[in-house]
Amino acid sequence: MIAFADCQDVRKMTVIREIDCPVCGARDGIEVFERENQTVGDSVCDKCGYTIPEGVVLDLFLEDNVPGRTK
Ligand SMILES: [Zn+2]
């Protein structure tokens, strides 16, 4: 059982978040996998195809990369 400990730890650290698409506004339109606060794999909006790339910090990425959004 000890041999599987690492795998289970990694799985535990992976979080799935559903967010509203910042571009088209689709409710829970994007399913984002996060591990250690970074995205895992590309996350694509079902409706408009807006893509969040792998390896970014989701909250920071959304702040800096939403078209047409003003701070
Ligand atoms: Zn969208």
CATH of 2-64, one of 3.30.70, 2.40.160, 2.20.25, 3.30.1380: 2.20.25
| DSSP alpha helix (H) spans, 5-56 | 5-13
Query: Looking at residues 57-64, what average pLDDT do you find?
Result: 92
| Residue-wise pLDDT tens digits, 26-55 | 999 999 999 999 999 999 999 999 999 999
Q: Which residue has the tokens 């939403």?
A: 66
Q: Write out the two tokens for 39.
A: 């995205």
Distance 9 CA to ligand 1 centre (A): 32
Distance 4 CA to ligand 1 centre (A): 38
pTM of structure: 0.74
Nearest-angstrom CA–CA distance, 20 and 36 = 21
Q: Where are the domains of the chain?
A: 2-64
| DSSP alpha helix (H) spans, the chain | 5-13, 58-64
Length of the chain: 71
Q: Which amino acid is at 65?
A: N
